[in-house]
Amino acid sequence: MDFEYAEGVKDRALAQIAVVGAGTMGSSIALTFAQNGHSVLLKETSEDFLQKGYANIERLLAGRRRKGLSEEESLAIRERISGTIDYENFADVELVIEAASENIEVKKGIFEALDEWCNLDCILASNTSSLSITQLGSFTRRADKVLGMHFFNPAHIMKLVEVVPGLETSHETVLYALNLAASIGKLAVRVEECASFLVNRLLGRYMNESLYVLTSGLAGVEEIDQAVVDYVMPIGPLALRDMNGADIGLSVARYNWQEYGPRFAVPQLLEVMVESGVLGQKTGAGFYAYDGDKKRSGVNLQLTELIEKVARFEAPAKGKMQVENLFLPMINEAFLALQERICQPEDLDSALKAGLGMRKGPLELASDMGLKQCLQQMEENFQIYGERFRPAPLLKRFVWANRNSVF
């Protein structure tokens, strides 16, 4: 079903945007553009899914109204969004953002259909958090107009958009996406194509390390989470893993290990948790236990058995956790990303702060610790724990050049 625009709204709207997929991310992206004056065509595969998307948009708008958005403004935003279950109205769209599930075959079908139905000048973007933009472009006859626009959840609140060109993406397409994202109040950062892009790539190293610290006995669940919150993060890594689901975390961890090798080795605890159905909030227990309203009710006691099951396979650890060390793999990955020219050096910390809510980015943390101290600690850990602490060559070069900080 197509929804009619309110009188005069279409005339005042900016470039028309289409969003394919009305799930959590798709509906939030649609709202983001609508609240910035764009008319949005929201597509789903069925009326039921479309109505669920509208219900989520209404829920998000209700939250904004509680914070002061007027009913009139809310109505204007809502009426900039129209819905459809086919591609017939895509001919006039200037940009499409695909926000379907992270399945390459699903996305292949969508991009093939978009290439057929959209006008030749239409730019096709994907909200994928990790899949190859070049591969997505190969499903079309317009690879120069295909790119990634990776919004962070929730898209209508989080400031970062990673703009990711594929091998064939034109400079003009990248500029368009950067300018468009900036025009709706986002920090738009160009990120070169690599597995998990920039922010999630660095996040993955830190998330994995938190599991190694836990199974090594250096610190408990609450101690780890509280330490990183006090240090630099808005939420602990184990609480975050419970929110996202251990199954999702395992899928991402396996993908990163496949793409990057041993330093992204999958923590065995994650494998065992998924095998045992201990997935986090969605199952009522993960690192923490949850009540029926998904409110945390303490550490999951079952976790002790799972940790004991894998602890004997982990490298030995002595002493107590030093919270700075938990971030060393992230810092090291930041230097590897700079070495690969994945982004501009000045964009890296800003992207991590906007995408993850960090109070300081990894390069700032490294500078605070001192690059020489960072390298020394990584070298010591490398001798004990192996590949996940192999120092980045660029970090060594900075230290050899007697630099005390990155900038």
**Structure tokens belonging to residue 105:** 């075959």
Which CATH architecture is the domain 325-400 placed in? Orthogonal Bundle (1.10)
Our answer to whether residue 88 is catalytic in this structure is no
Average pLDDT over residues 104-131: 96
Alpha-carbon span 357 to 317, nearest angstrom: 30
Average pLDDT over residues 252-280: 95
For residue 315, the model assigns a pLDDT of 56
Task: Say whether 199-316 and 9-190 share the same fold.
Answer: no
What are the pLDDT digits (tens) for 134-148? 999 999 999 999 999
For residue 310, the model assigns a pLDDT of 87
Helix (H, G, I), strand (E, B) or coil at 370: coil
10: pLDDT strictly greater than 50? no
Active-site pick, 27, 44, 79, 150? 150
Half-sphere exposure of 253 (CA within 13 A, CB side): 23
What are the pLDDT digits (tens) for 351-360? 999 999 999 9
Residue found under tokens 């107590």: 320
For residue 83, the model assigns a pLDDT of 96
For residue 8, the model assigns a pLDDT of 35
Q: Provide φ and ψ at 20, rounded to 5°.
A: -100, 115
317: pLDDT strictly greater than 60? yes
**Structure tokens belonging to residue 3:** 């929804």
- Please name which of 176, 406, 212 lies closest in space to residue 327, comparing C-alpha atoms: 212
Residue found under tokens 């610190």: 219
Alpha-carbon span 134 to 144, nearest angstrom: 10
CATH 3.40.50.720 fits 9-190, yes or no: yes
Average pLDDT over residues 210-229: 94
Mean pLDDT rounded to a whole number for the chain: 92
Query: What pLDDT band is residue 294 in, cutting at 50, 70 and 90?
Result: confident
Query: Quick one: what percent of the chain has pLDDT higher than 70?
Result: 95
Our answer to whether residue 162 is catalytic in this structure is yes
What are the pLDDT digits (tens) for 395-404? 999 999 999 8
Active-site pick, 98, 162, 209, 333? 162
Average pLDDT over residues 301-323: 80
For residue 271, the model assigns a pLDDT of 95
346: pLDDT strictly greater than 60? yes
For residue 314, the model assigns a pLDDT of 64
For residue 15, the model assigns a pLDDT of 77
Half-sphere exposure of 87 (CA within 13 A, CB side): 15
What are the pLDDT digits (tens) for 155-206? 999 999 999 999 999 999 999 999 999 999 999 999 999 999 999 999 999 9
Average pLDDT over residues 296-324: 81
For residue 316, the model assigns a pLDDT of 60
Domain 199-316: top CATH class: mainly alpha
Average pLDDT over residues 354-383: 96
Our answer to whether residue 259 is catalytic in this structure is no
Average pLDDT over residues 283-296: 88
**Contact 128/191 with Cβ under 8 angstroms?**
no
Our answer to whether residue 116 is catalytic in this structure is no
- Please name which of 23, 29, 74, 79 lies closest in space to residue 52, comparing C-alpha atoms: 23
To 10 degrees, what angle do helices 328-339 and 345-356 make?
140
For residue 308, the model assigns a pLDDT of 86
Query: What pLDDT band is residue 301 in, cutting at 50, 70 and 90?
Result: confident
For residue 320, the model assigns a pLDDT of 84
Average pLDDT over residues 333-354: 97
For residue 26, the model assigns a pLDDT of 97
For residue 356, the model assigns a pLDDT of 96
Going 257 to 260 to 261 to 262, the CA torsion angle's sign is: negative
Active-site pick, 27, 126, 129, 381? 129
- CB-count burial class (<10 Å; 0-12, 13-18, 19+) for 292: exposed
For residue 192, the model assigns a pLDDT of 97
Gyration radius of the chain's alpha carbons:
22
Active-site pick, 28, 196, 200, 367? 200
Alpha-carbon span 360 to 214, nearest angstrom: 24
Alpha-carbon span 37 to 247, nearest angstrom: 37
Average pLDDT over residues 316-328: 85
To 10 degrees, what angle do helices 268-275 and 303-311 make?
130
Kindly tell me the number of DSSP H helices and DSSP E strands found in the chain: 19, 10
Domain spans, the chain? 9-190, 199-316, 325-400
3: pLDDT strictly greater than 80? no
